[in-house]
Structure 1
Amino acid sequence: MGYGEMSADNGAGSASSRQFVLEKEGELRVEVGTDAPLRLRLLDGTAEVFGAEIPRAKWLTVPALEKIAIFTWKGATIELDGISEVEYVADETPMVSYVNVHAVLDGRRARAKSGNDADSSQGPRVIVVGPTDSGKSSLCRMLLNWACKRSWIPTFVDLDVGQGSTTIPGCIAASPVELPLDAFGGMPTEMPAVYFYGHTRASANVELYKVLMKELAQTLERRFSCLSDHKAAGMVINTMGWVEGLGYELLLQAINTFNADVVLVLGQEKLFSMLKKDVLKSKPTIDIVKLHKSEGVVPRNQKVRQQSQNCKIKEYFYGFINDLSPYTLRENFGNISVFRIGVGNQLPVSIDPIGAEPVSDPTRATAININGDFLHAVLAISYADDPDQILSCNIAGFLYVSEIDFESEKITFLAPCPGELPSRILIIGTLKWSDNQ
């Protein structure tokens, strides 16, 4: 997998334009820093990023903090312009093994579509597992894009509350993918089913996480019962990187809850062995496949993770390329009801439930008095008509608390669109963000 470099200066950190000639099955890996975005374009041949084809001769902007792999099956010439932290052509890539998995899944979808009974009409339900920073999200994007190119409509399920691929962090969500995803864009938002967990760590309220997984799975089952094409295309499920102890138990529960029949294990022999031992006991027909993770996957420290979470929230309000203008809404305290789910140390002590009695149920919604700790919080707007429906209802959207005036008892929100709130029932967790970031 050799390559040619056609530039006097192609080192990382240089702002000059440089070109890379990739041979058959070659891969160019690029890491972008926090501030200056990078541009790229395809000069010759064909290439893709996580299964999304790059258009010929068009400059594309790679946003800050992105880490991408530009792969070509037949050869390509790539031009970069701008500053990157790292850029190099890989000696090895696992792409061939990944596309082989896609081919097997494609065959199962075809058989499901031609099935004559209810059981055989179910397409593959693939769950991608592995430790933190093993390339799970990237593999999910590839499998989704390759399926879309074959005219399937797979459903993407995101269980990683720390990342927020479909929406903001702190949620679990699912959405059908009808068209290939943009190379650097967000995940699908058509017909999303979103449940607000409210924290970026599943350990903050494990019981709530379990309940929301079950609610999401039931929602998808109802959807599949009405949409045979979606059912035949199946699911691609992304998971957390917490694979030890309680995290492993949640992983087993996710496999059962979504009735997964293919488990793709990235980058850890121990996890592969544990799953074969524990899952095959109750599901002997399930396929557990070990795949090599890409060597281009880069471990991220807590600071980088926080930056990534902040970027996802900002993207929700301002758009992927800052092309949206959020709106300011002011509401009287008495016009809204704010609830938190569960108790414990996940919220500041000063946010006390209304009334004197403490709540011990980790899945109970409790009304909360508005106070100073709400400032910079991100709240979810529930579709629930009644507090008892909060756990079982989808989320309409999110609000950011930018200002609180206790004298006039008014709270100011940043909202993605103008107009009346779709619901007066809001949910708070530990998710915070600053519009100045």
Structure 2
Amino acid sequence: MDETPGKVENEIKLSPDSELRFEVESNDETVYLELKSGIAEIFGTELVKGKTYSFTTGAKIAVFSWQGCELIIRTKKDTSYISKETPMMFYLNCHCCLEQLREHAEQNDTNGPITLIVGPTDVGKSTLCKILLNYAVRMGGLSRRPIFVDLDIGQGHVSIPGTIGAMIVERPASVYDGFPQVAPLVYHYGHVGVQQNPKLYDTIISQMADLVHQRMESNKKVKSSGVIINTIGWVKGRGYQHLTHIVQAFKVDIILVLDQERLYNELVRDMPTFVKVALLPKSGGVVERSTATRIEARANRVREYFYGTISYQLHPHSFDVKFSDVRIFRIGAPAVPDSCIPLGLKTDNYLIKLVSIQPSPNILHHVLSVSHATTADEKVIETNVAGFVCVTNVDTERQILTILSPQPKPLPDACLILSDVQFVDR
């Protein structure tokens, strides 16, 4: 354990079906945690006995134990508490039901459960996704390969904010770094709110759904394991329409509603009878995040893309490129009055129009998606992205951009798509 002066060590005994909760708020604070005896987990990831885990600013942790355990926690200011009121039994029951459906799918060569997690903001949707995915690969052994689809463009759990992503989960998540990512499927959206371009959001969701179903058909383990989908917290009005579009596009057959009875009743009313809808409670440890906290979390996600995490550090590269050597686009043209639109065209087509832009100081600190499309004539919007770069300097006199990139060589011959997401490299 850390021997930093001023830290207080507490030995905590967790009784069965209870959890230890704590949050790290101070910038100079680090909380150290060790499992002394018994079995415990953090959001479905089992802790290693005798290993010291460290948590820094922004961490919100719940250590749960089914059989009981002994923990050692070391911190300057102890704000931890134990709760016996947890929804983990509900979540475990959900996992057991999903596992039965996976076994049936495996025996009959049919699709496994396609599960949608919905609810307003800050009710624990991402956490429930992580728990269900962890349980699937922990308890299902080598036969389980569920697909995790993240449609929450505000946070970005598969990639960075401003994107939607999907990946096959083969191993439990790391306590620090989440699920191991091998070639995730990522689509550019470019904003952190759905209301900025609802047409584009629905378009890339449809494209994502088609490819997810293709992947299920090509791999029996993936097919029987099914899909778990994380969604945005906008559940009223147009947000509800997006949810129904997701259900149709992905052919969802199970919807888990967190902590909102109104949404649950609307879905029961509107969904086909073969779609099963269940209402689940949220955890008492869920914390409502402020706007500043959300902005900081987004910046941290982009920073992790370029620089990695504490346990897995990366070293990005910076290089100059000429204005003439890059092709930058944005998705969405200015709105056109209805009277100016040719007969037969939809009024919202401008939202998914590809527009060429010239490099200028306006794109400083903006993140650019590197598309797999090599020409603007290709379907850039419906093409997934290879990665991201950030503009760290714009020299208009020399006509040169300075780019922060994960790879050392200059940009490939690809289309770059401008995002509203910004990152200041310090």
Does the 8 Å contact 1:328/1:412 carry over to 2?
yes
Amino acid in the other structure paired with 2:192: T
Partner Cα distance (2:410, 2:54) in 1: 35
Structure 1 position 44 matched with structure 2 position 37: yes
Give the secondary-structure state (helix, strand or coil) at the position aligned to 1:419.
coil
The reply to whether residue 304 of structure 1 matches residue 293 of structure 2 is: yes
Partner residue in 2 for 1:108: 101
SS in 1 for 2:315: coil
Match of 1:132 in 2: 121
Q: Distance in 1 between matches of 2:162 and 2:76?
A: 31
Instruction: State how far apart, in whole Å, the 2-side matches of 1:103 and 1:130 are.
Output: 21
The residue aligned with 1:173 is: 165
CA distance in 2, matches of 1:15, 1:334: 56
1:92 aligns with 2:82: no
Q: Distance in 2 between matches of 1:384 and 1:84?
A: 52
Farther-moved stretch of structure 1 (139-148 vs 177-186): 177-186
- Work out whether residues 172 and 179 of structure 2, in 8 Å CA contact, stay in contact via their aligned partners in 1: no
1:360 deviates by 6.1
Q: How far apart, CA to CA, are the structure 1 residues paired with 2:57 and 2:368?
A: 26
For residues 34 and 414 of structure 1, the distance between their equivalents in structure 2, rounded to whole angstroms, comes to: 30
2:137 aligned with 1:148, yes or no? Answer: yes
Match of 2:324 in 1: 334
What's the CA shift for 1:86? 3.8
Contact 1:186–1:320 at 8 Å: present in 2 too?
no
Question: Counterpart in 2 of 1:364?
Answer: 353
Normalising by structure 2, we get a TM-score of 0.92
Aligned partner of residue 419 in structure 2, secondary structure: coil
- Distance in 1 separating the partners of 2:354 and 2:66: 52
Q: Is the 8 A contact 1:210 1:250 kept in 2?
A: yes
Q: Which residue of 1 aligns with 2:206?
A: 214
Residue of structure 2 equivalent to 1:76 = 69
- Give runs of aligned pairs for residues 6-45 of structure 1, distance below 5 A: 15-33=7-25, 35=27, 36-45=29-38
Q: SS of the counterpart of 1:179?
A: coil
Are the counterparts in 1 of residues 367 and 391 from structure 2 also a CA contact under 8 Å?
A: yes
What is the letter of the counterpart of residue 223 of structure 1?
A: R
Query: What letter matches 1:28 in structure 2?
Result: L
Deviations 1:120-161 (CA, angstroms, capped at 9, x unpaired): x10000110000000000000000000001121100000000
Please list the CA deviations of residues 231-259 of structure 1 after superposition, one character each: whole Å capped at 9, or x if unmatched. Answer: 11000100001111111110111111111
Residue 431, structure 1, aligned to residue 421, structure 2: yes
Rounded Cα–Cα distance in structure 2 between residues aligned with 1:420 and 1:219:
30
**Residue by residue, what CA displacement relative to the aligned partner does 1:324-366 show, whole Å, maximum 9, x if unpaired?**
1111121111111000001359xxxxxxxxxxxxx96111111
CA distance in structure 2 between the partners assigned to 1:344 and 1:290 by the alignment: 41
Between the two proteins, the alignment pairs up a number of residues equal to 403
The residue correspondences of 1:341-352 to structure 2 (distance < 5 A) are 341-344=331-334
Which deviates further from its counterpart, 97-106 or 15-24? 15-24
Q: Which position in structure 1 is the counterpart of 2:306?
A: 317
CA displacement 1:260-286 (0-9 Å, x = unmatched): 11000001111111111111xxx2111
1:381 aligns with 2:370: yes
C-alpha distance 383-63 of structure 1, shift in aligned 2 (>3 A): farther
Residue 392 (structure 2) aligned to one of 394, 398, 402: 402
Contact 2:188 2:369 in 1 (8 A): yes
> Corresponding residue for 1:223?
215
Aligned equivalents of 2:405, 2:178: Cα separation in 1: 19
Q: Percent identity?
A: 36
1:293, 1:53 → 2: CA distance? 21
CA contact (8 A) 2:256 2:279 kept: yes
Equivalent residues of 2:17, 2:84 under 8 A apart: no
Partner Cα separation in structure 1 for residue 355 and residue 204 of structure 2: 17
Deviation for aligned residue 1:82: 2.9
Aligned-partner residue type, residue 18 of structure 1: N
The farther-off stretch of 76-85 and 121-130 is 76-85
Contact preservation (8 Å) 1:166, 1:186 = no
How far is the alpha carbon of 1:38 from its aligned partner? 2.2
Residues 176 and 191, structure 1, Cα contact 8 Å, conserved in 2 = no
The Cα RMSD (Å) is: 1.6
Q: Which moved more, 1:40-49 or 1:385-394?
A: 385-394
Q: CA deviation at 1:422?
A: 3.7
Secondary structure of the residue that 1:429 maps to in structure 2? strand
Instruction: Give me the TM-score of the superposition, normalised by structure 1.
Output: 0.89
Residue 352 of structure 1 is matched in structure 2 by none
Question: In the aligned structure 2, how far is the partner of 1:306 from the partner of 1:324?
Answer: 22
**Residue in 2 aligned with 1:263?**
255
- Paired residues of 2:264 and 2:277 also in contact (CA < 8 A): yes
What is the match of residue 54 of structure 1? 47
Measure, in 2, the Cα distance between the counterparts of 1:94 and 1:263.
17
CA contact under 8 A between 2:186 and 2:384: conserved in structure 1?
Answer: yes
- Residue aligned with 2:8, SS: coil
The structure-2 alpha-carbon separation of the partners of 1:248 and 1:192, relative to structure 1 and needing over 3 Å to count, comes to same
Rounded to whole Å, the distance in 1 between the matches of 2:166 and 2:56 is 24
Report SS of the residue matched to 1:389. Answer: coil
CA shift for structure 1 position 15? 3.5
Distance 2:386 2:7 in 1: 42
Counterpart Cα distance in 2 of 1:126 and 1:163:
20
C-alpha distance after superposition, 1:43-64 (max 9, x if no partner): 1111000100000111112242
Q: Which residue of 1 aligns with 2:196?
A: 204
Q: Distance in 2 between matches of 1:178 and 1:314?
A: 25
